[in-house]
Amino acid sequence: MATVERRFPADHPAAQGHFPGNPIIPGAVLLSETLWAIEARLGVSLSPCLVKSAKFARPVRPGDRVTIEYSGFVKRGIKFTCAVEGQAVLSGEVVCDPGSTRR
C-alpha cells in the first residue's frame, strides 16, 4: 500500500458554490484529485482506465488534508481509500484491463 497526500486550499474555487456557509469539496473534484495524485506518484496516466466504483463516505472541506492510500497494478486496476484525520471520506477502484469490467 502506497500513500500520498493532497490538501484542498481554504479558498478552493470549487467550494464557493458548494454550499454557501457550509462549503464542501464536490465529490467529482475529490475523485479527480485523487486519481491525479496517484498518477503523479506512479508516473503514468490512468486516463485509459475506468472508474469501477467510488463511494463517498463523508464531505471534504476546504483546508482539509486528504491522505490517499492505494494499491494494485496499473495494467489491471488500482484500489484506493481517502481519509481526513483518520476518517474515511472516499473509497473506490479503477480498472485498466477492459476485459475485467462487468457490463
Known catalytic residue: 12?
no
User: And the C-alpha cell for 29?
Assistant: 473534484
CA distances from 53 to 12, 63, 71, 85, 95 (A): 25, 26, 15, 23, 9
Active-site position among 18, 52, 61, 79? 18
Cell 484491463: give the residue. 97
Q: What residues are labeled active site?
A: 18
